[in-house]
Amino acid sequence: SPIGVFDSGVGGLTVLKSLLSHLPHESTLYLGDTARVPYGTKSGEVVTRYSLKNAAFLMERGIKLLVVACNTASAVALPALSAALPVPVVGVIAPGARAALRRTRGGQVGVIGTPGTIRSGAYQRELEAAAGPEGVKVKARACPLFVPLAEEGWLSGDVPRLVAREYLADFVQNGVDTLVLGCTHYPLLKDIIAEVVGPQVTLVDSAEATVHVVAQLLEEQGLLARGGGVPTHHTFVTDVPERFVEVGARFLGRPIASAE
Ligand code: DGN
């Protein structure tokens, strides 16, 4: 059976992209809740309600594991999802936080995400809980304008550079050595973010980190697809598919055959 992935829209395709490249034998079902995007600015209660609906839709189609690709949904709805579903549920926050702790040299970690993600404190809590006795110093900031820039494909040049400088100057000044890209859209802006924060700051892509956790969990539970059959990939959206197919190709790094 397939791995289910949901996101508020196209962003989670960055997680799907990592999944396809690291676990090429797995079949996937992706649901982008394009009718209700963005989640990043909505309350935790509303995002939880939408998340449970998305999960139910994918469960009906027989998924073996659920990946909550959206950082905002992972930040606020993971306990409700884990309690409601009979299959393993993996969010992007814990994997991203743990990857940052493995990479940091000075224990100064920055986190950027949507207002919902940052306000929830989920990354901050996870980093502090997982850091152990050495501790960690966390600096978090919401960078909402990165989302439309990524969707417009405005990934280089003066406009994204100025926005990135405005958002990230404090991180550089405060000696942050590791920065978590805590939103599905930010991997598209990796180059400009790296340029602005400089080579002394390590960027952590939560999407990448999550896929390693998924692979490990499937292995442990004996759920890995073993090659043999040809994997299938289906995409669903809750609004008309045109914009999703067009914008999503950039996020997935390949054309999207169709979305229902
Ligand atoms: N997918 C959302 C996230 O990772 O937080 C970003 C898009 C949004 O809903 N604003």
What ipTM was estimated for this complex?
0.92
pLDDT score of 257: 81
Q: What is the gyration radius of the CA atoms in the chain, in angstroms?
A: 17
41 CA from centroid of ligand 1 (Å): 9
Q: Give the span between the Cα atoms of 11 and 74, in whole angstroms.
A: 13
Task: Determine the Cα–Cα distance for residues 90 and 213; give it in Å rounded to an integer.
Answer: 8
Q: Is 183 in the pocket of ligand 1 (CB under 6 A)?
A: yes
What is the pLDDT tens value at each position of the chain, 260 positions in all? 999 999 999 999 999 999 999 999 999 999 999 999 999 889 999 999 999 999 999 999 999 999 999 999 999 999 999 999 999 999 999 999 999 999 999 999 999 999 999 999 999 999 999 998 889 999 999 999 999 999 999 999 999 999 999 999 999 888 999 999 999 999 999 999 999 999 999 999 999 999 999 999 999 999 999 877 899 999 999 999 999 999 999 999 999 987 88
Q: How far is the CA of 72 from the centre of ligand 1 (A)?
A: 6
Q: Distance of alpha carbon 205 from its chain centroid, rounded?
A: 8
Q: Smallest Cα–Cα separation from 26: which of 223, 205, 246, 251?
A: 223
Which of the residues 5, 85, 131, 183 is marked catalytic?
183
In the reported structure, the alpha carbon of residue 6 is separated from the centroid of ligand 1 by a whole-number distance in angstroms of 11
Q: Cα 101 vs. chain centroid, distance in angstroms?
A: 17
Ligand 1 pocket, 114 CB below 6 A? Answer: yes
Q: Does ligand 1 have an atom closer than 6 angstroms to the CB of 33?
A: no
Assess contact for 92 and 210: CB atoms under 8 A: yes
| pLDDT at residue number 182 | 96
